[in-house]
């Protein structure tokens, strides 16, 4: 397959290139050239997709995988330019496109909307609505030739958000760890390499449609997930479960400061229906493997890379001193006591 990839080399784009190379595909990468250089054997075209796609004129590709579309106008421009020279468009979206997060909702659930559809500023309030409009922009231009992949929380090596590495770091050690909310709170994640391999499969088979892409197959909850990480990494960190209300009262930000923690009222966010993706071949490696590989990668990072990662994608994860402060306050409160 002659594959075009739109996106950087930080995380998902890197995994897509590595997987495509391992499968023997011919690859062209188009991006701004601001992240790492692509692996040997990848043709690299540099430009800004907001106006620099002319470098692709006259080029034909079997498929394109778009890992970095956030603005509908820009996605529509790319689709129009490629419509006559690309057979299939795989667009990476997000489960944040949904208007709400009822448990077990599938791809037909209502989507988020924007008061001003012309807005292009990407914020927590506009992200989902913009992604939904990006999906529509691609399908409007290339009807029946688009696979929309609504990814959940992507984890694994090179995860610069620090969301999964935060827990890997804790579970590999032996220091008391603050575990938020309830052990039976649902959790869904997908290894970046599993997602990348499946994106390539959708491209190669020209599979159209809309798919939720997260995992695993069997229901997973936060307590068993953390215990699996601890077992896989050989850690001895005791988990102290702290009530959600206690954390919220003290201004702890769910999902960002304490990754994977979603308040009970939004727990459906971590119970998304993935049956359509499973039927289309999405498969998952063991969580223990993801944990070990993420830990090995994190150990190789420089201090500067580690500090930048702990700033997160949308905010900092909980620093050790703040975690200790919260644990001390919890132990001093009347309701403290759960430890695993």
pLDDT reported for residue 313: 44
Distances in whole angstroms, Cα of residue 141 to Cα of each of 72, 77, 84, 162, 188: 12, 9, 10, 36, 32
Residues 81 and 75 sit within 8 Å (Cβ to Cβ): no
pLDDT reported for residue 96: 96
CA torsion sign, 123 to 101 to 112 to 250?
negative
312-317: long-range pairs with CB below 8 Å, 24+: 312/161, 312/162, 312/163, 312/256, 313/160, 313/161, 313/163, 314/124, 314/256, 315/253, 315/256, 315/257, 316/256, 316/257, 317/162, 317/163, 317/166, 317/256, 317/257, 317/258, 317/259
Distances in whole angstroms, Cα of residue 157 to Cα of each of 46, 61, 146, 242, 284: 25, 29, 28, 29, 15
Q: What is the mean pLDDT of residues 199-219?
A: 97
- Third-level CATH fold of 2-151: Rossmann fold (3.40.50)
pLDDT tens digits, one per residue of 239-295: 999 999 999 999 999 999 999 999 998 889 999 999 999 999 999 999 999 999 999
Q: Is the pTM of this model over 0.85?
A: yes
pLDDT reported for residue 301: 78
d(CA 294, CA 275): 27
How many CB atoms neighbour CB 253 within 10 A? 15
The pLDDT-based confidence of 308 (bands split at 50, 70, 90) is low
| pLDDT beyond 50 at 314 | no
How is residue 44 written in tokens? 């690299």
pLDDT tens digits, one per residue of 219-240: 999 999 999 999 999 999 999 9
Per mean pLDDT, which range of 143-157, 159-173, 242-256, 322-336 is the poorest?
A: 322-336
d(CA 235, CA 227): 9
pLDDT reported for residue 50: 81
Report how many helices (DSSP H) and strands (DSSP E) the chain contains, helices first.
11, 11
Residues 288 and 225 sit within 8 Å (Cβ to Cβ): no
Residues 20 and 90 sit within 8 Å (Cβ to Cβ): no
Q: What is the mean pLDDT of residues 82-90?
A: 97
Contact residues for 323 (Cβ-Cβ < 8 A; gap 6+) = 177, 178
Where does CATH 3.40.50.720 sit in the chain?
2-151
N-term to C-term CA, the chain? 49
């Amino acid at each position: 397959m002659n594959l075009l990839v739109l996106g950087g080399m930080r995380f998902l784009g890197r995994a897509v290139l590595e997987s495509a190379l391992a499968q023997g595909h011919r690859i062209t990468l188009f991006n701004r050239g601001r992240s790492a250089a692509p692996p040997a054997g990848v043709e690299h075209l540099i430009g800004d997709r907001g106006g620099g796609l002319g470098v692709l004129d006259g080029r034909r590709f079997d498929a394109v995988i778009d890992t970095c579309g956030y603005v509908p106008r820009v996605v529509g421009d790319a689709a129009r330019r490629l419509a006559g020279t690309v057979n299939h468009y795989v667009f990476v979206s997000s489960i944040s496109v949904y208007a709400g997060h009822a448990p077990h909702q599938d791809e037909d659930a209502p989507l988020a909307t924007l008061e001003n559809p012309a807005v292009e500023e990407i914020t927590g309030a506009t992200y989902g609505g913009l992604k939904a409009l990006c999906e529509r922009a691609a399908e409007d231009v290339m009807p029946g030739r688009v696979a929309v992949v609504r990814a959940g929380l992507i984890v694994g090596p090179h995860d610069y958000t620090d969301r999964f590495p935060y827990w890997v770091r804790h579970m590999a050690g032996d220091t008391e760890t603050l575990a938020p909310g309830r052990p039976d709170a649902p959790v869904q994640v997908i290894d970046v390499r599993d997602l990348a391999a499946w994106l390539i499969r959708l491209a190669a088979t020209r599979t159209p449609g809309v798919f939720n892409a997260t995992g695993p197959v069997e229901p997973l909850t936060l307590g068993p997930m953390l215990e699996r990480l601890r077992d896989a990494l050989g850690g001895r960190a005791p988990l102290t479960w702290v009530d959600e209300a206690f954390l919220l009262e003290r201004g702890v930000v769910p999902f960002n400061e304490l990754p994977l923690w979603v308040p009970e009222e939004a727990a459906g966010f971590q119970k998304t229906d993935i049956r359509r993706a499973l039927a289309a071949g999405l498969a998952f490696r063991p969580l223990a493997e993801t944990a070990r590989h993420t830990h090995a990668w994190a150990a190789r990072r420089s201090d500067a890379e580690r500090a930048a990662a702990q700033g997160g994608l949308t905010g900092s994860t909980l620093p050790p001193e703040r975690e200790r402060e919260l644990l001390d306050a919890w132990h001093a409160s009347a309701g403290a006591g759960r430890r695993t």
